[in-house]
Amino acid sequence: MTLTTATAPEAAADGDDLRVWPASTARLPHGGLAVGGVPLTEIAERFDTPAYVLDEAEVRARCRAYRQAFPDAEVLYAAKAFLSRAMVRWIDEEGLGLDVCSAGELELAVTAGFPPERTVLHGNAKSPRDLATALRLGVGRIVIDSPSEIARIAAAVGPSGRQQVMVRVVPGVSAGGHEKIRTGTDDQKFGLSLQDGSAQHAVTRVLRQPQLELTGLHCHIGSQITDTAPYTAAVRRMVGLMARIRDTHGHTLPELDLGGGHGIAYRPGEPALDLPALARAVRTELSRSCAAARLPEPRLLVEPGRAVAGPAGVAVYRVLAVKQTGDRVFVAVDGGMSDNPRPALYGVRYAPRLVGRTPGAPPRTTTVVGRHCEAGDILAADVPLPGDIRPGDLLAVPVAGAYQLSMASGYNLVGRPPVVAVHEGTARLLVRRETLEDLRSRDIGA
């Protein structure tokens, strides 16, 4: 479906900061914005609201940036951030592998044509269906997250089979933007502890299983990390464990997966992880640590998800109501925590913007809320929006491509929004809007 190509943008107004928007974002006359050459107002008119807009060129550019920063590493896109058949195709064409966490993600990828041998299956509690699907489709590696998985996977492989696996290690490095997304220490559910010996014990058990081929170690220390120091600390500890495995078992592991968690900016001025700096720091530390341990350098794997999809997405909402309660101004939109639970879960802060008309009043402090029956249904607290904002206006929220639709729910039976891809002045529907009929069809009770 072709939409109108954006005209030349207006000059930027003071404070009109588009740094966290997709690179293709252009200003239009009368307060409009276009992404990928498509005006956001036309997206709203044609596809209704709320809607997610995904810039294909931005996704591809970010994939290429990772390939350039880590030319000798295996870059795996973390499907949990956002997955669709089109996303699978873009990732494949850009030469990335895929990190999946369920049979559902794996099945979607493989049925969309993605090579299963370039996938890695994660999960702290893999179901029998997850493992059966992974083995049936020929997943590249399975990351072992608990001792019980070792025997389960070996039994499922069978006496004549062989499956490549990695062991997820908790290296004792605390990093991440919120306590609920810090996964590198022993006080959370993922992985096997380096400190108490659980990781070493698991490695020993895996090496005794002829059906399992241990290709390397895995760690993931958290999410929304904006500093390179936690990654270099993790490299040192993981290389130390690899050296002990070599000394104890005579087995040199060829791979080291450092996970993802690369932080991005959601609002102008916020810090983001410097990708080239990360690559240099990790490469330097890996060389130094391996030389000190007299180990050959393992091949690196990295797993960006948010850093690829997040900045490529924009959420578009329509204002339903405006009211003042005490000293606070509330702007209610036609979406909310059913399509973006992250503010309620992690206190994430966004920078919504009026699009489609020129404001007629100076900004005032406003709280953008959703339509759901929860006091915590807040999309953006205490943000500047024009003082004349009114029902019918459009608000656009950048950095909406990751962990929004993938975490969406059916709360209040509102239905999940569509995803519209934009590229070079055209728009096409990737994921259709969830309808009332979709919701009704699942309810089969009388």
CATH number at residue 327: 2.40.37.10
Instruction: Report the alpha-carbon distance of residue 163 to residue 284 in Å, rounded.
Output: 32
Return contacts of 68-72, CB within 8 angstroms, 24+ apart: 69/275, 69/276, 69/278, 69/279, 70/279, 70/300, 70/302, 72/299, 72/300
**Number of independent structural domains in the chain:** 2
Q: Is the pLDDT assigned to residue 6 strictly greater than 60?
A: no
Asked if residue 138 and residue 267 are part of one domain, the reply reads: yes
Q: Which amino acid is at 155?
A: A
Of 247, 258, 170, 249, nearest in space to 214 by CA: 249
- So what's the pLDDT on residue 173? 81
Of 310, 342, 364, the position where a domain reaches its end is 310
Of 289, 310, 331, the position where a domain reaches its end is 310
Asked if residue 278 and residue 249 are part of one domain, the reply reads: yes
Mean pLDDT of the chain: 92
Asked if residue 355 and residue 299 are part of one domain, the reply reads: no
**Element (H or E) spanning 322, and its range?**
strand 313-325
Asked if residue 277 and residue 332 are part of one domain, the reply reads: no
Q: How far is CA 399 from CA 26, 352, 402, in A?
A: 16, 10, 8
Asked if residue 146 and residue 172 are part of one domain, the reply reads: yes
Q: Is the pLDDT assigned to residue 419 strictly greater than 70?
A: yes
pLDDT in tens, 139-181: 999 999 999 999 999 999 998 899 999 999 999 887 665 454 4
Q: How far is CA 85 from CA 113, 171, 351, 419, in A?
A: 9, 34, 29, 12
Q: Is the pLDDT assigned to residue 369 strictly greater than 50?
A: yes
Pairing of strands 38-39, 33-35: antiparallel
Supply φ then ψ for residue 125, to 5 degrees: -145, 80
Are 18 and 24 within 8 A, CB to CB?
Answer: no
Q: Is the pLDDT assigned to residue 235 strictly greater than 80?
A: yes
For residue 15, being part of any structural domain is answered with no
For residue 399, being part of any structural domain is answered with yes
Of 116, 74, 113, nearest in space to 303 by CA: 74
**Element (H or E) spanning 120, and its range?**
strand 119-121
Of 374, 389, 312, nearest in space to 35 by CA: 312
For residue 425, being part of any structural domain is answered with yes
**What average pLDDT does the segment 430-439 reach?**
95
CA-angle at 13, arms to 351 and 30, nearest 5°: 90
pLDDT > 90 fraction of the chain, expressed in percent and rounded: 87
**What average pLDDT does the segment 343-369 reach?**
94
CA-angle at 139, arms to 136 and 140, nearest 5°: 145
Asked if residue 394 and residue 260 are part of one domain, the reply reads: no
For residue 67, being part of any structural domain is answered with yes
Q: Which amino acid is at 122?
A: H
Q: Which amino acid is at 140?
A: G
Asked if residue 297 and residue 197 are part of one domain, the reply reads: yes
pLDDT in tens, 56-80: 999 999 999 999 999 999 999 999 9
- So what's the pLDDT on residue 14? 36
Residue-number span of the structural domain to which 382 is assigned: 26-55+311-442
Q: What is the CATH number of the domain that holds 268?
A: 3.20.20.10
Reading the block at residue 205, the tokens are: 């058990």
Asked if residue 149 and residue 238 are part of one domain, the reply reads: yes
For residue 2, being part of any structural domain is answered with no
For residue 389, being part of any structural domain is answered with yes
For residue 6, being part of any structural domain is answered with no
Asked if residue 221 and residue 130 are part of one domain, the reply reads: yes
Instruction: Report the alpha-carbon distance of residue 225 to residue 318 in Å, rounded.
Output: 32
Residues in the chain: 446
Of 276, 310, 344, the position where a domain reaches its end is 310
* Cα within 13 Å of Cα(72), Cβ side: 10
- So what's the pLDDT on residue 182? 45
pLDDT in tens, 249-299: 999 999 999 999 999 999 999 999 999 999 999 999 999 999 999 999 999
Give the catalytic positions in this structure: 373
For residue 325, being part of any structural domain is answered with yes
pLDDT in tens, 310-337: 999 999 999 999 999 988 999 999 999 9
pLDDT classification of 188: cutoffs 50, 70, 90: low
Helix axes 198-207, 147-157, angle to 10 degrees: 20
Asked if residue 77 and residue 42 are part of one domain, the reply reads: no
Q: Which amino acid is at 124?
A: N
